[in-house]
Amino acid sequence: KGQFFRAHAFYNVALNKCPKDDEKQLSTIYLNLSQTHLHLEHLKEAIEASTSSIGYNPDNGRAYLARAE
């Protein structure tokens, strides 16, 4: 689980550095963050992150799959 904790921290830093108008990149970061939450068994946070991913890019099919997991 250590690698997922590190990845989680990395994606949070990326969220803070990503320009707020770069919606596709934000969608990708939130999608990856949702996967780290899932592996850490933080299910509510995983759903919230995948929902944010969809909010930034409704065409991101992977985000819908992640939210369904």
Residue 3, exposed/middle/buried by CB under 10 A (0-12, 13-18, 19+)? Answer: exposed
User: What span, in angstroms and rounded, lies between the C-alpha atoms of 52 and 67?
Assistant: 10
- The pLDDT value recorded for residue 65 is 87
CB-side exposure of 38: number of CA atoms within 13 Å?
A: 16
Q: What is the pLDDT of residues 6-43, one digit of tens each?
A: 999 999 999 999 999 999 999 999 999 999 999 999 99
Residue 1 clears pLDDT 80, i.e. is over it:
no
pLDDT for 69 equals 79
Give per-residue pLDDT as tens, 33-55: 999 999 999 999 999 999 999 99
- Residue 2, pLDDT above cutoff 90: no
Q: Are 58 and 26 in contact (CB under 8 A)?
A: no
